Amino acid sequence: MVVTEEKILKLLDNVSDPEIPALSIADMGILRGVKIVDDQVIVTVTPTYSGCPAMYEIRRRIVEELKENGIVGVKIDTVLSPAWTTDWMSDDAKQRLKESGIAPPTKTNEFSLDNIINHKDFVPCPFCSSEETELRAEFSATACKSLYYCNSCEQPYEHFKCH
Amino acid sequence: MYTDEIKEAQKEYLLRLADDRMILSQRLSELCGHGPILEEDIALTNISLDLLGQAKLYYEKVAELSDEEVTADDWVFFRDEREYWNVLLVELDNEDFAHTIVKQLIFDVFEILLYGEMINSKDADLKAIAEKSIKETKYHLRHSHEWMLRLGGGTEESNRRLRDAIEFLWQYTGELFYTDEVDDILVGAGIAPDVSKFRDEYYKTLNKILVESELEEMDPNVWMQSGGRDGRHTEYMGHILATMQYLPRSMPDAQW
């Protein structure tokens, strides 16, 4: 089998973020690229959050997935720049996120002290689409999500934060 | 390539950034399992994790700049109190929830302004770390700001505790603006931000939040604590290091 960058990208579609099983690392924007240099496969990834503990598992899964398909000696490069943003998530990925019960991120705001302090995110309920929802906590089961509550269907739910 | 003078200054500067975040992260991690409510337990430890991640990025860069074989862990676990350069604010005890929140607010507002300048750094790595971290800090500030409003406008007791906290912690804000020749060299080289540029905005923002939180404005031009950047710490520092460093010091080769 001839290993091509396209084939590797296709294989890596099977690698999901352990904390967001509905999305692959490509959907998440964690996977930044694949290159083959002198027979060595180099996979470039970027962390979602500086301290994201899932990065270790993601690197392991990449190596494992490629090994199962006969590709060994994979090098994983971690880059910080450009900084990861939820704006990289496709509409299709956002839809799947919503179907899995997590309210998807909206477009990120322009950065300013005032925007941060007087923020108001519009986060409709992923279950009943009601807009009668309220923020319960800025942090949820993982750093990348916050906790909301829907006053219409009375369900708590997570929101994938705009980042 | 940087000159030796800039390289040395950069190592020192990165350690200061790293130590501030490392010690604050360790302090917040003490609340794991002890938050006042489950959501807060999770929030404070998530913030702790972000700070730990940021600290790691700085320590790794110091290690890269060093001639010796050192890792991020060496900096964290095998330095003594007098070799830590963090500001005193971050090592102070959690005390009560009001102290914890006010301490975070004091740090978060500073960090937002610092990173807001650092994203223009001529050093590509520092710029990348700032661009990454500022997004995390945004949520830290939203969290501490929300709690300021809740506690300040809550009950008589929550307002009193918040007032006690700000009156005690205020004297530790000055050190955030400490500068010496390390900063002068790096500001001159376009690597580090000039913190004096946003000092007024910092205090204006803090005071605005205090007023919103039904507290009185504080005076930035009073006597302030210092010493952390020279390794002269409060009595809390030895204790926090003892907890943090115990395991790797008693079993130096321990691995996860």
Residue-by-residue DSSP string for B218-234: --SSS-----GGGT---
The DSSP code sequence of B71-93 is -HHHHHHS--GGG----HHHHS-
Angstrom distance (rounded) from CA A12 to CA B158: 51
Pick the closest to residue B95 from B154, B146, B153, B166 (CA basis).
Answer: B166
Interface check for A51 against chain B (CB to CB < 8 A): the answer is yes
Angstrom distance (rounded) from CA B21 to CA B57: 11
Interface check for B219 against chain A (CB to CB < 8 A): the answer is no
Q: What is the pLDDT along chain B (256 residues), one digit of tens a residue?
A: 689 999 999 999 999 999 999 999 999 999 999 988 888 999 999 999 999 999 999 999 999 998 888 888 999 999 999 999 999 999 999 999 999 999 999 999 999 999 999 999 999 999 999 999 999 999 999 999 999 999 999 999 999 999 999 999 999 999 999 999 999 999 999 999 999 999 999 999 999 999 999 999 999 999 999 999 999 999 999 999 999 999 999 998 887 7
**Are residues B139 and A137, on separate chains, in Cβ contact within 8 Å?**
no
Residue with tokens 């302004």: B113
Angstrom distance (rounded) from CA B8 to CA A158: 45
Interface check for A143 against chain B (CB to CB < 8 A): the answer is yes
Interface check for A156 against chain B (CB to CB < 8 A): the answer is no
User: Does pLDDT of A111 surpass 80?
Assistant: no
**Are residues A52 and B53, on separate chains, in Cβ contact within 8 Å?**
yes
* Chain A residues within 8 A of B56 when measuring between CB atoms: 50-51
CA dist A22 to A91, A146, B72, B133, B135, Å?
14, 17, 34, 26, 24
Question: Strands A75-78 and A102-103: what pairing?
Answer: unpaired
Q: What is the mean pLDDT of residues A22-28?
A: 93
Q: Tell me which chain A residue has its CA closest to the CA of residue B127.
A: A81
* Domain B4-250, CATH among 1.20.1260.10, 1.20.140.10, 3.40.50.150, 3.40.50.1110: 1.20.1260.10
φ, ψ at B30 (rounded to 5°): -60, -20
Angstrom distance (rounded) from CA B49 to CA B57: 13
- Distance from the Cα of B34 to chain A's closest Cα (Å) equals 16
Q: What is the mean pLDDT of residues A84-107?
A: 92
Residue with tokens 């309920």: A125
Residue with tokens 């500073």: B110
**Are residues B47 and A52, on separate chains, in Cβ contact within 8 Å?**
no
- Distance from the Cα of B40 to chain A's closest Cα (Å) equals 8
Torsion angle, CA of B209/B212/B215/B216, rounded to 10 degrees? 70
Q: Tell me which chain B residue has its CA closest to the CA of residue A79.
A: B128
Structural domains in chain A, CATH included, are: 5-84 (3.30.300.130), 87-160 (no CATH)
Cβ under 8 Å to A: B residues 4-33: none
Question: Strands A145-150 and A16-17: what pairing?
Answer: unpaired
- Report pTM: 0.93
Q: Return all residues near B222 (Cβ < 8 A) that are at least 6 apart.
A: B170, B171
Q: Tell me which chain A residue has its CA closest to the CA of residue B145.
A: A117
Q: Return all residues near B188 (Cβ < 8 A) that are at least 6 apart.
A: none
User: Which of B17, B29, B42, B125 is the best mutation test for A, with the most CBs of A within 10 A?
Assistant: B42
**Token pair of A55, please?**
């990065």
* Chain B residues within 8 A of A51 when measuring between CB atoms: 49-54, 56
Q: What is the pLDDT of residue A163?
A: 87
What 8-state DSSP symbol labels residue B189? Answer: T
Q: What is the pLDDT of residue B69?
A: 87
Q: What is the mean pLDDT of residues A108-112?
A: 76
**When comparing pLDDT for B67 and A147, which is higher?**
A147
Predicted-complex ipTM score? 0.88
User: Does pLDDT of A1 surpass 70?
Assistant: no
- Distance from the Cα of A4 to chain B's closest Cα (Å) equals 30
